[in-house]
Amino acid sequence: MKIVKTTAEILSLLNQYNKKKSIGFAPTMGALHEGHISLIERSKKDCDITVCSIFVNPTQFNSQEDFKNYPKEINADILKLQKANCDIVFIPEKSNLYSENEKAREYDFGILSSVMEGKYRIGHFNGMATIVEKLLNIIQPTKAFFGEKDLQQLQIVKELVKKEKMSTEIIGISTIRELNGLAKSSRNKLLTVKQKIEASLIYKCLCYCKENKSLGITKLKDYISTIFNKNNYVALEYVEFVSLKTLQPIQSWNEDNTNAICIAAYVNHVRLIDNIIL
Please report, as a single letter, which amino acid is at residue 120.
Y
Asked if residues 133 and 161 have their Cβ atoms less than 8 Å apart, the reply is no
Instruction: Report which of 135, 164, 176 is spatially closest to residue 42, judged by C-alpha positions.
Output: 176
Position 195, amino acid = Q
- What φ, ψ does residue 50 adopt, rounded to 5°? -115, 130
Give the whole-angstrom CA distance, residue 175 versus residue 85: 21
Residue 256 CB partners (closer than 8 Å, separation 6+)? 278
Burial 192-207 (b: 16+ CB within 10 A, else e): eeebeebbbbbbebbe
| Catalytic residue flag (residue 269) | no
What distance in Å separates the CA atoms of residue 51 and residue 144, rounded to the nearest whole number? 9
Among 33, 36, 124, 269, the one annotated catalytic: 36
Alpha-carbon dihedral 192, 198, 201, 204, rounded to 10 degrees: 90
Say how far apart CA 185 and CA 173 lie, in whole Å: 14
**Interacting residues of 180 by C-beta distance below 8 A, sequence separation 6+:** 196, 197, 200, 203
DSSP H or E segment with residue 190:
none
Active-site residues: which are they? 36
